[in-house]
């Protein structure tokens, strides 16, 4: 079974990878978690990726977390598009 990679957008610039992981671990196992960091400023660009090994847990996380307010920002969660 392939893990599901989720794209999380509209994150507060202050949200850390650890916080992001904690938010998603409520819904299941998190295999990996990464924020996209601006190379020039070293700060978060406001989006990141979470990989969850179980598709059912990943889908539950999408349903529960999409549109939730985290640190004052309404986040958007969806399945990441696979890059060919």
The reply to whether the predicted model has a pTM over 0.95 is no
Task: Give CA–CA dist 80/62, Å, rounded.
Answer: 11
Dihedral angle, C-alpha 27, 1, 35, 23, nearest 10 °: 0
Q: Which CATH number fits domain 4-78: 3.30.70.330, 3.40.50.970, 3.40.50.300, 1.10.1520.10?
A: 3.30.70.330
pLDDT of residue 81: 87
SS3 at position 27: coil
Task: Look at residues 56, 44, 51 and name the one whose alpha carbon lies nearest to residue 21.
Answer: 51
pLDDT of residue 31: 97
Ranges of each domain in the chain: 4-78
pLDDT tens for the chain, 84 residues long, are: 789 999 999 999 999 999 999 999 999 999 999 999 999 999 999 999 999 999 999 999 999 999 999 999 999 999 998 765
């Amino acid at each position: 079974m392939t893990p599901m990679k989720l794209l999380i957008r509209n994150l507060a610039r202050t949200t850390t990878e650890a916080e992001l992981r904690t938010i998603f671990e409520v819904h299941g196992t998190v295999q990996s978690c990464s924020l996209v960091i601006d190379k020039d400023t070293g700060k978060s660009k406001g989006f990141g990726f979470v990989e969850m090994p179980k598709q059912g847990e990943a889908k539950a996380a999408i349903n529960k977390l999409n549109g939730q307010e985290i640190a004052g920002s309404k986040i958007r969660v969806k399945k990441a598009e696979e890059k060919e």
